[in-house]
Amino acid sequence: MKDLIKIASKKPELYEQGPQNMWDEPYISKNMLKAHLDEDLESATRKLATVKESVEWIASTLPPHDYPLLLDLGCGPGIYAERFYGKGYRVTGLDLSRRSIAYARNSANDLGLKIQYKQGDYTKMAFDSQYNLVTLIYCDFGVLPYDDRKELLLKIHDSLLPQGVFLFDVFTPLRYEGAREFRHWDVCENGFWKEEPHLLLHSFYRYDEDSTFLNRYVIASEDTISFYNVWEHVFTFPEIKRDLEDAGFSEIAVYGNVMGKPYDKGEQTLCILAKK
């Protein structure tokens, strides 16, 4: 009980990491995969209709005959990767979750798709090939601490062939405008985080000095206490443009979302196309 009170009462330090890896935890990763595959759910992956519209726009804006080699970072179970392949790209997918990569490989084999999938942490592993197009979709870039974001941009820049493009999206400050900090307790028979009965404490913290926010989930069962910190940094266009230029990118275009909506300062997302 003392450990639970200590964990629950202390606001974490900025970008403090929890002891567990939620992406590869067997029970959580099973539920994460289920969320990815729900075509009508906008959580792990955007709704299928949005995915299809995004792929159509990307393929028309950066056509596969000009950008044939595509690396899909955070590919999950291959929902975007399969559709990119169907447009004519030669696709490599990379994701941390072993369960998602296993599903993606099985799906590609069943459908006869020659997609190369790799399992690993793209913030730590080397990219062993070069690409014309690198994608990182659904605002995953913002979950990383500053140093990891900086290193990832440098690595992506190095992995791109001349005139290659990095396409990704991020949340803007409007995402959390007016959101108040909170701590909510719930008693669960089972759920997303744990199969057996447990207490769930969901806390939300603001770190306005860094434009960063935290959703923290503390799960306490009869025998164990675990917690997961889900960070989110939000960006203005001048900030992300500066970071990209520091990494060596030259031509930077901005849109309102990954479906090609024109950029508007009132949007909660930005989609960035950064050319080497």
Q: What is the pLDDT, as a whole number, of residue 103?
A: 98
Tell me, letter by letter, the H, E, C secondary structure of the chain. Answer: CHHHHHHHHCCCCCCCCCCCCCCCCHHHHHHHHHHHHCCCCCCCCCCHHHHHHHHHHHHHHCCCCCCCEEEEECCCCCHHHHHHHHHCCEEEEEECCHHHHHHHHHHHHHHCCCCEEEECCCCCCCCCCCEEEEEECCCHHHHCCHHHHHHHHHHHHHHEEEEEEEEEEEECHHHHCCCCCEEEEEEECCCCCCCCCEEEEEEEEEEHHHCEEEEEEEEECCCCEEEEEEEEECCCHHHHHHHHHHCCCCCEEEECCCCCCECCCCCCEEEEEEEC
CB atoms within 10 A of CB 131: 24
Read off the pLDDT of residues 101-146 as tens digits, 9 standing for 90 and up: 999 999 999 999 999 999 999 999 999 899 999 999 999 999 999 9
pLDDT at 2 over 70: no
**Half-sphere exposure (CA, 13 Å, Cβ side) for 223?**
2
Average pLDDT over residues 163-182: 97
Read off the pLDDT of residues 225-266 as tens digits, 9 standing for 90 and up: 999 999 999 999 999 999 999 999 999 999 999 999 999 989
pLDDT at 274 over 90: yes
Read off the pLDDT of residues 189-204 as tens digits, 9 standing for 90 and up: 988 999 999 999 999 9
Q: What are the φ/ψ torsions at residue 205 (nearest 5 degrees)?
A: -125, 145
Q: What is the pLDDT, as a whole number, of residue 1?
A: 58
Q: Which domains does the chain have, with CATH numbers?
A: 2-20+175-232 (no CATH), 38-172+235-275 (3.40.50.150)
Average pLDDT over residues 84-88: 98
Q: What is the pLDDT, as a whole number, of residue 111?
A: 97
pLDDT at 276 over 70: yes
**Nearest residue to 166 via CA among 70, 60, 256, 80:** 70
Check: CB of residue 154 under 8 Å from CB of residue 248. Answer: yes
CB atoms within 10 A of CB 191: 14
N-to-C CA span, the chain: 53
Q: What is the pLDDT, as a whole number, of residue 3?
A: 78
pTM listed for this prediction:
0.95
Scan for tokens 């994460």, then name that residue.
32
Average pLDDT value over all residues in the chain: 95
Cα-to-chain-centroid distance, residue 146: 15
CA dist 143 and 130 (Å) reads: 25
CA dist 159 and 168 (Å) reads: 15
Check: CB of residue 40 under 8 Å from CB of residue 105. Answer: no
